[in-house]
Amino acid sequence: MNLKGRNFLKLMDFEPEEILYLVDLAAELKEKKKQGIMHNSLIGKNIALIFEKTSTRTRCSFEVAAHDLGMHCTYLDPSGSQIGKKESIADTARVLGRMYDGIEYRGYGQEIVEELAKYAGVPVWNGLTNEFHPTQMIADMLTIREHLGELKGKKFVYMGDARYNMGNSLMVTCAKLGIHFVACTNRKYFPENQLVEYCEEVAARTGATIRLTEDVAEATKDADVIYTDVWVSMGEPAEIWEERIKDLLPYQVNEKAFENAKDTAIFMHCLPAFHDLKTGVGKEIHEKFGLTEMEVTDEVFEGPRSVVFDEAENRMHSIKAIMLATLGES
């Protein structure tokens, strides 16, 4: 498998075998790290990390992975560069491409990261856009495999806002890997038709199925994985909380959602999560709307089915795999 020189912008650009190769490589690098075996074959390379939105996991994963691989990185925060304000994406790409061996971008529209990749001349990795969050997918697939043994044929249920980066990316990934994907939410939050049609075509070849439903009991029946994400994503206006709560509260992941699922079912969340009142936003929402937990109850989040911290750790191993595969050994 040779992914050297490739961008990592969305999983629609990758074949199932390529995605599985990255999951395998992440597992291998994780095992090596646990054993204290260094893998710094990218020594001497430099990468740039552009964050137009905030981050904990993605930024730390890129920084730790880069360091482990022997690379140096430069972090450009949401206000610390000229990007978009005084310099176009195309110009920025051509400047950074002269200095760095790879560029990570987290920001708004998918077209921005696509434009960056078009002009950079070095691999570009999508660290999250409004539409997709592909590095999270490798971590999520690794986590499912670690807990359930296999990916193909599993039933994956996504509850909540299914028309944004996480719902979109998970539907594509499941379709590619032969996983049965169910988006269980108010129909206002179903993924866009065009993406659903694309995924159905892919699913027809891989043995996956794609189902969109508002019925929680039907969706969660025999589920292997129940996944959710925040109801309001970065960059969305705070005014929409009220509507989101009204629309999505019936799709909160709670113990009842797991009643119908398999005994072995796991709970996943890309994080950060609103499961208690220990966050600023959580407290504000509590004061305004009286909720003490949102997309997932604290009971599920802290319970034995929850694998969210394995998932968070796997971000680092999988981002390391993505960088290693696309930059190649030096």
What residues make contact with ligand CP under the rule CB under 6 A? 55-58, 128, 136, 270-272
Cβ nearer to ligand CP, comparing 42 with 128: 128
Active site residue 315: yes
Active site residue 136: yes
Cβ nearer to ligand CP, comparing 70 with 272: 272
Cβ nearer to ligand CP, comparing 30 with 57: 57
* Phi, psi of 309, rounded to the nearest 5 degrees: -85, -25
Residue nearest ligand NVA, Cβ-based: 233
User: Exactly one of 224, 270, 305, 317 is catalytic; which is it?
Assistant: 270
Cis peptide before 272 (omega within 30 of 0): yes
Please count the residues of the chain. Answer: 330
* Phi, psi of 327, rounded to the nearest 5 degrees: -90, -25
Cβ nearer to ligand NVA, comparing 140 with 293: 140
Active site residue 187: no
Displacement of CA 170 from its chain's centroid (Å): 8
User: Exactly one of 6, 57, 101, 136 is catalytic; which is it?
Assistant: 136
Q: How far is the CB of 235 from ligand CP (least distance, A)?
A: 12
Q: How far is the CB of 234 from ligand NVA (least distance, A)?
A: 4
d(CA 118, CA 120): 6
Contact 170, 227 (CB under 8 A): yes
Contact 128, 105 (CB under 8 A): no
User: Exactly one of 57, 145, 269, 315 is catalytic; which is it?
Assistant: 315
Cross-strand partners of 320: none
Contact 11, 172 (CB under 8 A): yes
Active site residue 94: no
38, two tokens: 């260094």
Q: How far is the CB of 115 from ligand CP (least distance, A)?
A: 21
7's contact among ligand NVA, ligand CP, none, with CB below 5 to 8 A by partner kind, is: none
Task: Describe the strand order of the beta sheet including 72-76 as a list of residue ranges.
Answer: 72-76, 46-51, 102-106, 124-126
Residue 29 DSSP SS3: helix
Residues of the shown chain interacting with ligand NVA in the complex, contacts defined by CB under 6 A: 128, 164-166, 229-230, 233-234, 270
139's contact among ligand NVA, ligand CP, none, with CB below 5 to 8 A by partner kind, is: none
Active site residue 106: yes
164's contact among ligand CP, ligand NVA, none, with CB below 5 to 8 A by partner kind, is: ligand NVA
User: Annotated active-site positions, please?
Assistant: 106, 133, 136, 229, 270, 315
